[in-house]
């Protein structure tokens, strides 16, 4: 099998899996910069601010597909009722997700509203619980798909008839996620937290076929993570974290460390650098800059799996932009280390 045909076969498999299989949900390598998709208990869980706004963008398979996969998210969350609840507060937020597979044959849009409650336990720990409820829609353009029975031995012929018939070009459902989070901060220089969440707990159904009885159930996705923020000097704060996700037979394990280097007097400007590893898949270098509450972070997935034979190690690039701020009349305490 020549190299071009190999790439065609891989593309067909990837698109087929995206449409018909119970594959893994969309994800970001910068999971630590996508708090509401990682765990709804992170809503309003902002140790160093009162609110935050963020966008994430990821693109992959750019050198083995004419049009790469693209994933986008935008989110906002904030603390509320800090002055009304004893040693606790309410977190409210929302997240918009968009995903486009390849040439646009499969597109998904999801929007969630999120709420969480955070309760201080004594002076050095915090327990959070949250959930989000959302609406998901997936759309497909059959004219852009190629099926195995359209392959003539050399090429895919779009004019050749196919036995695959899709009754619907879109499907939609309501979706529910829930999660818990615990944080421990014994000193001003040490902050540790960990959490667990379950996505699709209502097990919604989705299908592009008329037979709704045999529609595919979106399987529950389990996510666990652990994170630490440690101030090692007046110039350096390190942030190690680890992330695990499992959905049916698809699992992901990623971990690594970032470091913030203070470039100014009181931390207004910081340089960010780090390195992560996704088990059996990729090495992910990270770089970024923080200036006056605005953080821009860029990462690149260098493929280490067998797929590198086809994409030459060129995986995905991703960036995030996050803005944090504090209410003018806020007297909330900063829980994590800061410059």
244 φ, ψ (degrees, to nearest 5)? -135, 135
Phi/psi for 65 (5° steps) reads -135, 145
Query: What tens-digit pLDDT sequence spans the chain (339 residues)?
Result: 444 444 444 444 434 433 333 345 777 999 999 999 999 999 999 999 999 999 999 998 666 556 678 899 999 999 999 888 888 999 999 999 999 876 657 889 999 999 999 999 999 999 999 999 999 998 887 766 766 676 776 667 666 777 666 667 788 999 999 999 999 999 999 999 999 999 999 999 887 766 655 568 899 999 999 999 999 999 999 999 999 999 998 899 999 999 999 999 888 999 999 999 999 999 999 999 999 889 999 999 998 887 667 666 677 899 999 999 998 776 677 889 988
Count: domains in the chain: 1
The pLDDT score that the predictor gives to residue 165 is 67
Q: What φ, ψ does residue 13 adopt, rounded to 5°?
A: -65, -45
How far apart, in Å, do the first and last CA atoms of the chain sit? 57
Q: How far apart are the C-alpha atoms of 175 and 308, rounded to whole Å?
A: 35
CA–CA distances in Å: residue 40 to residues 195, 247, 338: 10, 17, 25
* 310 φ/ψ angles, rounded to the nearest 5 degrees: -105, -30
143 vs 149: CA distance, rounded Å: 15
pLDDT in the model for residue 13: 40
Q: What is the pLDDT of residue 205?
A: 87
In a domain, 253, yes or no: no
Classify residue 30: in a domain, yes or no.
yes
Q: Is residue 268 part of a domain?
A: no
Tally of CA atoms within 13 A in the half-sphere of 181 that contains its CB: 31
Domain assignment present for residue 298? The answer is no
**Residue 99 is part of which domain span?**
3-230
Residues pairing with 100 in the sheet = 70, 107
Which among 282, 258, 284, 252 is positioned nearest to 271, based on CA atoms? Answer: 258
Q: How many CB atoms lie within 10 A of CB 53?
A: 16
Residue 282 lies in a domain: no
What is the Cα–Cα distance from 117 to 89, expressed in whole angstroms? 6
Contact 29, 37 (CB under 8 A): no
Helix (H, G, I), strand (E, B) or coil at 90: strand
At 169 the pLDDT is 79
Asked if residue 258 belongs to a domain, the reply is no
29 within some domain: yes
Question: What is the per-residue pLDDT for 110?
Answer: 95
Asked if residue 163 belongs to a domain, the reply is yes
Q: CA 321, 184, 40, 219: dihedral to nearest 10 degrees? A: 110
Q: What is the pTM of this model?
A: 0.85
| Residue of 24, 29, 37, 33 whose CA lies nearest to 177 | 37
Model pLDDT, residue 316: 87
> What DSSP designation does 27 have?
-
pLDDT of residue 83: 81
Write the CB contacts of 168 (distance below 8 Å, at least 6 apart in sequence).
Answer: 207, 208, 209, 210
* pLDDT for 27: 79
Question: Tell me, what's the pLDDT at 19?
Answer: 37
Phi, psi of 125, rounded to the nearest 5 degrees: -150, 160
């Amino acid at each position: 099998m020549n190299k071009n045909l190999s790439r065609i076969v891989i593309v067909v498999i990837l698109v087929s899996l995206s449409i018909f299989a119970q594959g893994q949900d969309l994800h970001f390598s910068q999971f630590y910069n996508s708090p509401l998709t990682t765990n709804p208990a992170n809503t309003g869980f902002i140790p160093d601010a009162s609110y935050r706004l963020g966008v994430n963008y990821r693109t992959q398979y750019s050198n083995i597909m004419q049009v790469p996969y693209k994933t986008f998210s935008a989110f906002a969350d904030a603390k509320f009722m800090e002055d009304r609840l004893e040693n606790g507060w309410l977190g409210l937020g929302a997240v918009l997700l968009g995903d486009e597979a390849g040439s646009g044959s499969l597109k998904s849009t999801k929007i969630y509203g999120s709420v969480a409650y955070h309760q201080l336990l004594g002076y050095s720990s915090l327990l959070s619980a949250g959930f989000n409820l959302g609406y998901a829609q997936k759309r497909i353009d059959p004219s852009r798909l190629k099926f195995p029975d359209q392959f003539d031995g050399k090429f895919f012929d779009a004019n050749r008839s196919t036995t695959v018939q899709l009754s619907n070009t879109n499907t939609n459902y309501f979706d529910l996620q829930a999660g818990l989070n615990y944080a421990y901060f014994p000193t001003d220089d040490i902050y540790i937290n960990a959490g667990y969440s379950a996505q699709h707990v209502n097990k919604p159904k989705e299908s592009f076929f008329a037979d709704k009885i045999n529609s595919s159930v979106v399987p529950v996705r389990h996510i666990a993570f652990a994170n630490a923020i440690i101030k090692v000097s007046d110039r350096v704060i390190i942030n190690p974290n680890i992330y695990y996700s499992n959905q049916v037979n698809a699992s992901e394990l990623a971990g690594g460390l970032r470091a913030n280097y203070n470039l100014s007097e009181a931390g207004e400007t910081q340089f960010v650098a780090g390195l992560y590893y996704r088990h059996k898949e990729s090495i992910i270098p990270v770089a970024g800059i923080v200036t006056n509450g605005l953080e821009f972070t860029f990462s690149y997935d260098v493929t280490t799996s067998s797929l590198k034979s086809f994409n030459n190690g060129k995986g995905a690039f991703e960036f995030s932009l996050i803005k944090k701020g504090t209410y003018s009349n806020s007297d909330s305490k900063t829980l994590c280390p800061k410059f």
